[in-house]
Chains A and B, each alone.
Chain A
Amino acid sequence: QLQLQESGPGLVKPSETLSLTCTVSGGSISSSTYYWGWIRQPPGKGLEWIGSMYYSGTTYYNPSLKSRVTISADTSKNQFSLKLSSLTAADTSVYYCARSNGPSAFIDYWGQGTLVTVSS
């Protein structure tokens, strides 16, 4: 059974860079079938797709966040990561890592999510 688990700080200061890691078990991020991405959800609000990556290293970013987002992978650890820079309070959200079968596709597996609060 595929499992995804997010890890990273729960509190980050404004203007700093958020770094989150997703550890995948029960499957390989080097699979040619799937894409691995990040979605966020502000408390009490809806969902926003941040971006995704393919095992080859090709990345796809939300145009509204593109200048601040980097998604990368460490295949030796079966992990992929999110970096989001220049944080503001508006970036406070639950961040989910996820699997899809395309850069624009439905999500069939989600991590449990991790709450990140941006505050001084």
Chain B
Amino acid sequence: EIVMTQSPVTLSVSPGERATLSCRASQSVYSNLAWYQQKPGQAPRLLIYGASTRATGIPARFSGSGSGTEFTLTISSLQSEDFAVYYCQQYNNWPSFGQGTKLEIK
């Protein structure tokens, strides 16, 4: 089983600032990595797949990078609607998710 570890657990950032979220895989997943956003009471929403490809309708302020075992999700200028929990997911082997990073308003 590939273990996905996200950091930090909680990130406090002010609106308009940049947020950087990290995800590490216990072994290489190449570029088989996705990022999701989840708001309270809602299903996750796909943001990024293939480590760096934005899903349909996702604003350009969201970007993903990395390959192998180290990945980053960057939100360039935080909007109020971006405060949520973010999950990474690898799909190189049986799918597994990170434990999430809660992005909160500073």
Q: Would you list which residues of chain A between 83 and 120 have a CB under 8 Å from chain B? A: 96, 102, 104-108, 110-113
Q: Is A74 part of the contact surface with B, judged by Cβ < 8 Å?
A: no
CA A115 – CA B96 in complex, angstroms? 21
A46 lies within 8 A of B94 (CB):
no
Our pick among B36, B91, B97 for the contact of A48 (Cβ within 8 Å) is B97
**Among listed B16-24, B41-49, B67-75, B76-84, interface-contacting one:** B41-49
Bound state CA distance, A106 and B92, in angstroms?
Answer: 10
Is the contact region of chain A dominated by helix, strand, or loop, or is it mixed? loop
Choice from A63, A104, A105, A110 contacting B43 with Cβ under 8 Å:
A110
Q: Taking the complex as formed, is A56 at the interface, i.e. its CB lies under 8 A from any CB of chain B?
A: no
Q: Residue A47 contacts which of B46, B49, B89 (CB distance < 8 angstroms)?
A: B89
Check if A67 is an interface residue, CB within 8 A of chain B: no
Contact-residue size bin, chain B (C-beta under 8 Å from the other chain): 20 to 34
B91, A111: Cβ atoms under 8 Å? no
Q: How many A residues are at the interface, by size bracket?
A: 10 to 19
- The contact of A106 among B34, B96, B100, by CB within 8 Å, is B34
Contact B43 A106 (CB under 8 A): no
The complex places the Cα of A111 from the Cα of B93 at a distance, in Å, of 23
Q: Is the CB of A104 within 8 A of B91?
A: yes
Given contact pairs A46-B97, A46-B98, A107 touches B46 in the complex (Cβ within 8 A): yes
How far is B91's CA from A46's CA once the two chains are assembled, in angstroms? Answer: 16
The reply to whether B43 and A102 contact each other, CB–CB distance below 8 Å, is no
